[in-house]
Structure 1
């Protein structure tokens, strides 16, 4: 009779040790999952609050300077997210080609791109005259397309 109690005690202790180790693994995994979900929620929130609009007139002669090969666009921050007015914020494609030679400056000279303010985007990209062109801008997941004719 004592041998049965001893074997039950050993099995009970072993099952408690296994349950404790499994609970420790689950607690750590759930903590990591919770952190990842919080981080993703912050990123999605930033994407939702970001909205920009190209306010340049597509029929204007001021869009493309054929002497310098420079495209000039004015972009307004219409969202609620404060953005940095630097080239690292924008992804620019001209006629489907990724462009890295561009500058971003605040139209009024201040550094930050706050909601309601406008930046000037100057893109160095020679274009064929007399044809249609397309500039695609991506900021925090928000995509804007601007079409014009040179």
Structure 2
């Protein structure tokens, strides 16, 4: 009789240990999932508040052939938040090639606030004649500008 009680006690203790470890694992997983949902919410909020518009005229001369070989674009912040005017967070792709030699200057102020414009210079000294495409992406907002040299 005592051996039955001892074996039941051992099985009961093992069941409690297994249940506690499963509960700990589930709690940890739920915490990680909650953190991931919070991060996605912040990213989505930033994407919704970010919007830019390339306001350069595609028929105008945007490439400086005689000077330093820059593509000059004017980009307006049409969203509801400030954007970095130093190019941080902005991806610039010209004719399918990622470009890093990019300069930005706020035209009407010192901060790229909603409603203000930046002058963007993309250095490409060896741009050939023909049709070209510039894609700007910042915080999920993408704008495409096509021009001819």
TM-score by length of 2: 0.89
State the match for 1:138 in structure 2. 137
- TM superposition outliers: structure 1 runs of 4+ over 4 Å: none
1:1-150 alignment runs, 5 A limit: 1-61=1-61, 63-68=62-67, 69-110=69-110, 112-126=111-125, 127-129=127-129, 131-150=130-149
Aligned 8 A contact 1:83 1:89 in 2: no
* RMSD between superposed Cα atoms in Å: 1.6
What is the alpha-carbon distance in structure 2 between the residues aligned to residue 93 and residue 17 of structure 1?
56
What is the alpha-carbon distance in structure 2 between the residues aligned to residue 116 and residue 109 of structure 1?
11
**Which residues of structure 2 form unaligned runs of 5+?**
none
What is the alpha-carbon distance in structure 2 between the residues aligned to residue 8 and residue 124 of structure 1?
78
What is the alpha-carbon distance in structure 2 between the residues aligned to residue 2 and residue 23 of structure 1?
32
SS in 1 for 2:81: coil
**Which residues of structure 1 form unaligned runs of 5+?**
none
What is the alpha-carbon distance in structure 2 between the residues aligned to residue 97 and residue 7 of structure 1?
71
What is the alpha-carbon distance in structure 2 between the residues aligned to residue 139 and residue 5 of structure 1?
68
Q: CA deviation at 1:41?
A: 2.0
SS in 2 for 1:65: coil
What is the alpha-carbon distance in structure 1 between the residues aligned to residue 109 and residue 114 of structure 2?
15
Aligned pairs, how many? 147
SS in 2 for 1:128: coil
CA deviation profile, 1:63-103 (whole Å, cap 9, x unmatched) = 12211211111101111232111122221111222111110
